[in-house]
């Protein structure tokens, strides 16, 4: 059985993926931003192997989560599920001077990828909105542009695909893939979301532990366990490298 770490898994799709994996007999380590959310997660999944506590809105919090995860041991797979949605009415800034949305949705997955012991598989959650989010690489923090919450969110999900593909290229021995779970009625998606909630956590769990040929790939994009073509420019090596370089500079964490 595998050991899997799922970020942002005190509720929503992260928790649902964890519950699915635990039912299959895998050792699941959850993550919550604070102890209260950790207790919620523990009640929802009593047989979770452990729960890591830390708020990845700050670089210090990201580092703490990585340290706690490394203390548990090497993971067979890490599901980078942590994220916030598109409803921020204005640009919020973190203690580190970064866009709140970018810090959680993009920089946290990068820092954890860089600092955690290298797993066998990396799974990054993107969104069906990502094709509309081809970013301004010179203004990833939205300091010059007029804020648009939906556009900023779409950009972060585009960048998550870049991160997945960049890691697939940099670390060929690791299976690194991205997926969209569908627009489902989670707290993030909203009650009117039309997609299938039951199917939403399946693909990330499947990519984390599946042993069928369809999962023995890297640098691919999925929707409901089927490969799907991502926005074509996510394949551009120059964009992948630009993101990795910017994340390293912003976080002070180089990619091994």
d(CA 24, CA 156): 31
**Please, which residues have CB within 8 angstroms of residue 165's CB and are 6 or more apart in sequence?**
176, 178, 219, 234, 235, 240
d(CA 10, CA 13): 9
Q: Is 221 a catalytic residue?
A: no
Cα dist. 125→96, 109, 144, 223 in Å? 24, 10, 27, 10
Region class of 186: left (phi > 0), else alpha (psi between -120 and 50), else beta: beta
Q: Which of 86, 110, 157, 221 is catalytic?
A: 157
**Please, which residues have CB within 8 angstroms of residue 170's CB and are 6 or more apart in sequence?**
244, 255
* Token couple for 163: 């991160």
Q: Which of 86, 110, 153, 223 is catalytic?
A: 153
* Token couple for 153: 């969110």
d(CA 157, CA 3): 26
* Token couple for 209: 């532990």
Q: Is 157 a catalytic residue?
A: yes
Q: Tokens 């890297």 correspond to what residue? A: 218
Hey, which residues are catalytic here? 153, 157
């Amino acid at each position: 059985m595998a050991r899997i770490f799922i970020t942002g898994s005190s509720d929503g799709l992260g928790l649902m993926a964890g519950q699915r994996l635990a039912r299959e007999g895998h050792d699941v380590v959850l993550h919550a931003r604070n102890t209260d959310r950790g207790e919620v997660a523990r009640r929802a999944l009593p047989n979770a192997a452990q729960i890591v506590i830390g708020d990845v809105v700050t670089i210090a919090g990201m580092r703490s989560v990585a340290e706690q995860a490394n203390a548990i041991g090497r993971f067979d797979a890490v599901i980078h599920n942590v994220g916030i949605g598109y409803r921020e009415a204005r640009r919020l800034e973190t203690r580190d001077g970064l866009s709140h949305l970018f810090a959680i949705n993009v920089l946290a997955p990068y820092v954890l990828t860089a600092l955690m012991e290298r797993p066998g598989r990396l799974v990054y959650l993107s969104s069906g909105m990502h094709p509309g989010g081809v970013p301004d690489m010179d203004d990833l923090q939205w300091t010059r542009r007029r804020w648009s919450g939906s556009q900023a969110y779409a950009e972060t999900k585009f960048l998550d695909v870049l991160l997945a593909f960049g890691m697939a290229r940099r670390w060929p021995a690791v299976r690194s893939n991205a997926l969209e779970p569908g627009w489902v009625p989670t707290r993030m998606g909203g009650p009117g979301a039309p997609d299938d909630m039951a199917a939403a956590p399946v693909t990330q769990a499947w990519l984390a532990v599946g042993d069928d040929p369809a999962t023995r790939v890297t640098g691919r994009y999925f929707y409901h366990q089927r490969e799907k073509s991502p926005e074509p420019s996510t394949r551009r090596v120059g964009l992948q490298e630009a993101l990795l370089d910017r994340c390293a500079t912003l976080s002070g964490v180089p990619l091994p």
